[in-house]
Structures are given as C-alpha cells and as structure tokens.
Chains A and B, each alone.
Chain A
Amino acid sequence: MIKHKKPDAFYDTFERKGAGQQTTHYCPGCGHGTVHKMIAEAIDEFGVRDRTIFCSPVGCSVFAYYYFDTGNIQCAHGRAPAVATGMRRVHDDAVIISYQGDGDLAGIGTAEIIHAANRGENITVFFVNNAIYGMTGGQMAPTTLIGQQTLTTPTGRSAATDGNPIGMCELMSALSAPVYVERVSLGDGNRVLKARRAVRKALKNQIDGVGFSFVEILSPCPINWKLTPMDARKWLIENLEPAFPVKSFRDTGTPGAVATARAARDPSGPIPDDEMVRLLGSQSEIETIDRVTGLPEQRVKVAGFGGQGVLSAGILLANCAISEGLHATWLPSYGPEMRGGTANASVIVSEESIGSPLVDEPTTLIALNGPSIDAFEGSVVPGGLIVANSSLIDREPARSDVRYCMIPASKIAQDIGFQGAANVVLLAAYAAIEGFPAIDILRRVIPHALKKKNLVDLNLQMVDAAVEFVAEHPVAAPSAAPLPVR
C-alpha cells in the first residue's frame, strides 16, 4: 500500500513554464517545497480543498498558486493578511491560508500581519523564515542574523546599522487574540515531523473556528546562504535556532475571546430590499408648502462657539427651505476647529440651483456670541441683516449700512427653561424679520429635526417668544447706505 504520496491538494502538473511540468520552481534543498507538502497534506486530510483559498505572497513563494489545487489569490507584497481579512468577511466557511516569507511578513507587511493577528482573524498564517530575501537574490531580511553576510550587508549585518533580527513569534505572542503561535524548524527529519504537526494544528484551528494561528517555520535557503542543502540544515540548527527559539509560544486549543465574541454575534444576513428602501428613505413626512412669492437668495452665516447649536440651527434652516420646495445647501466649518472654539455654518437658500455652498458675503449673519460678530460683521452685504444674541454680545454692530436685531436669545431661552435653545430663538427671529422660513414651516420642521423629542414644546415656545420679541422691537434700519434691491 502507498503510505506517503504527493497530496491531492497539489495540481498534477505545474503549468508555470509550459505544460506538463511536475517540479516546483524552488531551488534544490529549499524549504518551501517541504512546507507546501505539509500544507497540501493537511488540506487533504481535513477534506477542505474546495473551500480553501491560498494567498500567495511576493517572494520566492509568489508562484504557490501553480502548485495548490485550491482557490488562489496572489497578493501585493506583505498585504496577504489584509487580503485574507477581506475574504474572511465575505466567506465564513472558506479556509484561508496566508503563506508569507520573512521580507513579506516581517518587513514590508508588519502592519498588516500585526493587525490581522490583533483582530483575531480566523485565518492560518505560515511564516517561512529563512533569514534572507531569496527571490531578489539574497539581500538582508528583517530576520537576517547579526554578522550574516548578504548582498546588502556585505560585511555582515550590524546591529548598529540595521538593528537586531526581529522575532515575529515573540511579537505575535504579545497580542492577546492569537490562539496558536509556534516556531518550528526544518533542520532535520524529526524537526520536520514536528513542523508537520504544527501545520496540521494551525489549519485545524481555523476549520474549527478557534481563531488566528501563526506558525513560523525556520527554513533553509541553501542557494543564498551559499551552502549545500545539508550544510544549510546544519547551519540552520546551529545559528538560526539559537537566535529564534524553536518552541510553542501559545496553544490555547480553545476558541479565543475574539472567536467566541464573533460566534455570539447575530448571524442575520443582509436585510430584504424593501426593508432597506424603507430604512434609507425618508423617515419623516413633513407637510410641505409652495412659496408663491419670489424669494431673494438667502445667504446665511450662523456663527458662535462650539456647543451653541450653530450647525444644527443651520440644518434646521435648510430643512425648512426643503419644506418650502426651495434649493438649499448647508456647509459647516469643519476640521480641527470644530472641536472647540468657533463654529460656523453657511446656508444658502434659493429658488435657483446653487453654485458654491460657501457663504463669504452673507445676506444675513446670525451671531451667537461676541467673537462671531467681530469675525463676520464686515462680510455682510450692504443692506443685509445681522441677528445678534445680545445676551452674549455687548455691542451693536459697527456697520451703519446693515439692518440689525439685537435679541437676548440666551436669556429668553433660559427664561423659558432651556438655555441651549438660544439658537432657535435667533433663527426664529430671523424668520420673523425676513418672512422666510415661514413661521408655520419652522414650527412643523422642529419636531422632526430634534433628536430629543421631549424638548419639542420648549423649542416651539422659543419660536413664539422670538416672534413676539421681533413684533415689539422693530429692526434697526441702516442709517447710511440705501437698502439694496434684494
């Protein structure tokens, strides 16, 4: 009987260069073929060939897809763990293998491997460490030993220049999510058999949903080490193993916390289309009106300090405009300044389509605090309107060619019972003065716009108070320039 033969998970022939080829492209005595064979055998043993996806890296094993009769994807240098992550989110039942060399995993791809490991992706990573860049002809790897000569360390790797060789198992085991971390060696026959067991376990873990498994394989590169295959194995045992201890770093054998949490998640798939349409469609119906009169373009700047409801007042205004069948744009001041300090929103309302959403010459400035009026008063168009929160602004506008309304919005809001709604007082004052938005619309939109529904009544009281205030306090007209035609 046949006891050991080429595993079925290998293709019969390897069509890399011409048809019918049956040997790999690896050099004589290379460790890659040995690792490939263990993986292929495990795939066979677990009966997962159809659902296996093998991620080929960049490096000597870039052509692994010519050998494995599985689903195959070739990845950019170092990125296989990210690619595997993407596939893992699509196929729960795929068996995903990331096979990487030392340049790929420990050099260019350190971010991807560490974060895939840290997320506890249920994948299996085989890390072949031969302490040198093979495919490109023998340059220094992140795992090259101190003193080891390579094309880019012709006098030997120096810690002073290049730092020390990096221990990836040690790094992996500093993370909590990996369930299995082991370093094995291909130094001799018994070590090879141990490596085979590690390969099997790492793959079984994934099939069982246990979690992220990482096997580092110390592997000979006779060609670039400039040794015979057997001398390379001897060198590996005598030099690589002392630098990279061969041992099991972690083997929980049970699903990790991440796998457990993941399994506990609601497995419900995509919601039905009609439900999606309902969810994304309008959640609230506001009765709209059609304006009959021509409304001049409203370019409103709302300004204050963060937390005064500057941005939300602007959104409220834009929502009112939509309800009146008008075009509207709202643009916030954004970026670092939105986290403290001043904030402002640009709102443009027009019967025509709107060009730039930035309001640099407002027809109305709604100023919630002192710095706002200082900053934007000068930009208001002649004949424009300034609505200012006189509770916090102790001066009237210096401009003589604008209309203005000084309204103690913060005090009114406080008297009603919610100081945070001074923005609504000011917006309602603007509406009462300009006839836009219609007060009725404003009252209808507020219940839909507010997240805290228990504040609706208070906010409607703000509107009433503002309307009352404006009725009792006529807007100060410009004293200098004539009113522009608007």
Chain B
Amino acid sequence: MATAPINTNVRNFVRIDSCLCKGCKVCVETCPKHCLVIGSKMNQLGYQYARFEKETCTACGLCFYSCPEPGAITVYRNEPADREDAE
C-alpha cells in the first residue's frame, strides 16, 4: 500500500464527482483512513453525495474499487498541495 507523502508540498486526495455519486456510503465505510464522509447536500440525482474530507489519504484506491459508479471517484497521489482547490 502507498505510504503517506513525505514531501509536504504534495498530498494524496480523492476527488468525488458530486453529480455521479449515488450516496451509497460504501466508499465512506471502506476507507481505512476515514477520509470520506456523506455530506448533507443533495445532487441532481437526489442523493446526498460523498465528500473527501481528511488529509490522511494514502491513495490506496479501496474507495475507487468499491465504488459502483465508473466515474464518480478519482484518486490522486502526490499532487501539488493546491491541486484540489483548483478543481
């Protein structure tokens, strides 16, 4: 499994396309580092979608593989620290 980034200027994170999430929570429960949560907002499909919240992501990919939707989750590793905000 991937280890936490050493370079503090880069980090791992998970991008969840809120429009594609069906709110099943499988990623939330599967993440060993508890990085994901279900938010309170609903998307256009009517689901409360998952959000990436914590910085402890190891980019292990368990959320990606567990997620039933093809394109809802993208996992980034060692991205520049400002990357997520730019999305």
Cα distance A27–B77 in the bound complex, in angstroms: 29
CB distance A23 to B45 under 8 Å?
yes
Number of cross-chain contacts by CB at 8 Å: 101
* B residues near A38, Cβ cutoff 8 Å: 65
Q: Which residues of A contact B74 (CB under 8 A)?
A: 2, 4-6
Number of interface residues of A (CB under 8 A): 37
Tally chain B residues at the interface, Cβ within 8 Å. 34
Quick check: which of A186-194, A200-208, A354-362 contacts chain B, the rest being far away? A186-194
Residues from chain B with a CB closer than 8 A to the CB of A22 are 17, 19-20, 70-71
Q: Give 1 or 0 for each of B59-78: 1 = CB within 8 Å of chain A CB.
A: 10110111111111111111
Residue of A nearest to B79 (CB): A1
Q: List 16 A-B contacts (CB under 8 A).
A: A2-B77, A3-B2, A5-B64, A5-B71, A5-B74, A6-B71, A6-B74, A7-B70, A10-B71, A22-B70, A24-B69, A31-B68, A40-B70, A190-B62, A229-B24, A229-B25
A229-B25, A229-B26 known; A24+B68 contact, CB < 8 A: yes
> Are B29 and A3 within 8 A (Cβ)?
no
Q: Which of A398-412 contact B (CB under 8 A)?
A: none
A5-B74, A23-B45 known; A33 vs B20 contact (CB < 8 Å): no
Tell me if B52 counts as interface (CB < 8 A to partner A): no
Q: For residue B62, which residues in chain A have a CB less than 8 angstroms away from its CB?
A: 189-190, 192-193
Kindly provide the distance from the CB of A230 to the nearest chain B CB, expressed in whole angstroms.
Answer: 5
Chain A residues whose CB sits within 8 angstroms of the CB of B19 once the complex forms = 22
CB-based contact A34/B76 at 8 Å: no
Is B34's CB within 8 Å of the partner chain A? no
- A233 to chain B: which residues have CB within 8 Å? 26
Most buried by A among B26, B30, B59, B66: B26
Binding site for A on B (CB under 8 A): 2, 12, 17, 19-20, 22-26, 29-30, 32, 45, 47, 59, 61-62, 64-79
A29 on the interface (CB 8 Å rule)?
yes
Asked if residues B29 and A6 are in contact (CB atoms below 8 Å), the reply is: no
Q: In whole Å, how far is B73's beta carbon from the nearest beta carbon of chain A?
A: 7
Q: Kindly provide the distance from the CB of B77 to the nearest chain A CB, expressed in whole angstroms.
A: 4
A23-B20, A29-B25 known; 18 new pairs, CB 8 Å cut-off, are A1-B77, A1-B78, A2-B75, A2-B76, A3-B76, A4-B59, A4-B65, A4-B74, A7-B70, A10-B70, A23-B72, A24-B70, A33-B67, A34-B67, A37-B70, A186-B66, A190-B62, A230-B25
Task: Judge whether B78 and A23 touch: CB under 8 Å.
Answer: no
Residue of A23, A34, A188, A229 with most chain B CB atoms under a 10 A cut-off:
A23
Interface membership of A28, Cβ < 8 A: yes
Query: What residue of chain B has the Cβ atom nearest to residue A229's Cβ?
Result: B24
Residues of A contacting B75 in the complex (Cβ-Cβ under 8 angstroms):
2-5
Closest residue to B30 on the A side, CB-wise?
A189
Closest to B47 in A: A28
Evaluate contact between B20 and A4: CB separation under 8 angstroms.
no
Chain A residues packing against B (C-beta within 8 Å): 1-7, 10, 22-24, 26-34, 36-38, 40, 67, 186, 188-190, 192-193, 196, 222, 228-230, 233
Q: How far is the CA of A196 from the CA of B61 in the complex (A)?
A: 12
Determine the chain B residues whose CB is within 8 A of the CB of A222 once the complex forms. 24
Q: Give the residue name and chain of the B residue nearest to A219 (CB).
A: B68
CA distance A27 to B24 in the complex (A): 9
Q: How far does the Cβ of A3 sit from chain B's closest Cβ, in whole Å?
A: 4
Least Cβ–Cβ distance between B62 and chain A, in angstroms:
4
Q: Contacts A7-B70, A10-B70, A10-B71 given: A37-B65 contact, CB under 8 Å?
A: yes
Which residue of the partner chain, among B12, B17, B26, contacts A29 with CB atoms under 8 Å?
Answer: B26
Report the bound CA distance from A308 to B24 in whole Å: 77
Assess A230 versus B26: contact at CB under 8 Å? Given A23-B20, A31-B68, A33-B69: yes
Closest 7 CB pairs of A and B: A33-B68, A29-B24, A6-B71, A28-B22, A4-B64, A189-B62, A4-B75
Q: Which residue of A lies closest to B71 (CB)?
A: A6
**B68 and A30: CB pair below 8 A?**
yes
Contact A36 B70 (CB under 8 A): yes
Complex: A272 Cα to B70 Cα, angstroms: 48
Shortest CB-to-CB span from A43 to chain B, Å, is 13
- Chain B residues with CB below 8 A from A228, complex form: 25
Is A1 in contact with B32, judged by CB distance below 8 angstroms? no
> Min CB distance, B30 to chain A, in Å?
4
A23→B69 contact, CB < 8 A: yes
A148 to B17, CA, bound (A): 36
In the bound complex, residues from chain A placing their C-beta under 8 Å from that of B12 are 3
Q: How far is the CA of A40 from the CA of B22 in the complex (A)?
A: 20
Q: How far is the CA of A408 from the CA of B68 in the complex (A)?
A: 85
Chain B residues positioned under 8 Å from A29 (CB to CB): 22, 24-26, 68
Q: Which residues of B have CB within 8 Å of A230?
A: 25-26, 29
Residue of A1, A5, A36, A188 near B30 (CB, 8 A) is A188
Q: A1-B79, A3-B59, A40-B70 are in contact. Are A189 and B20 (CB under 8 A)?
A: no
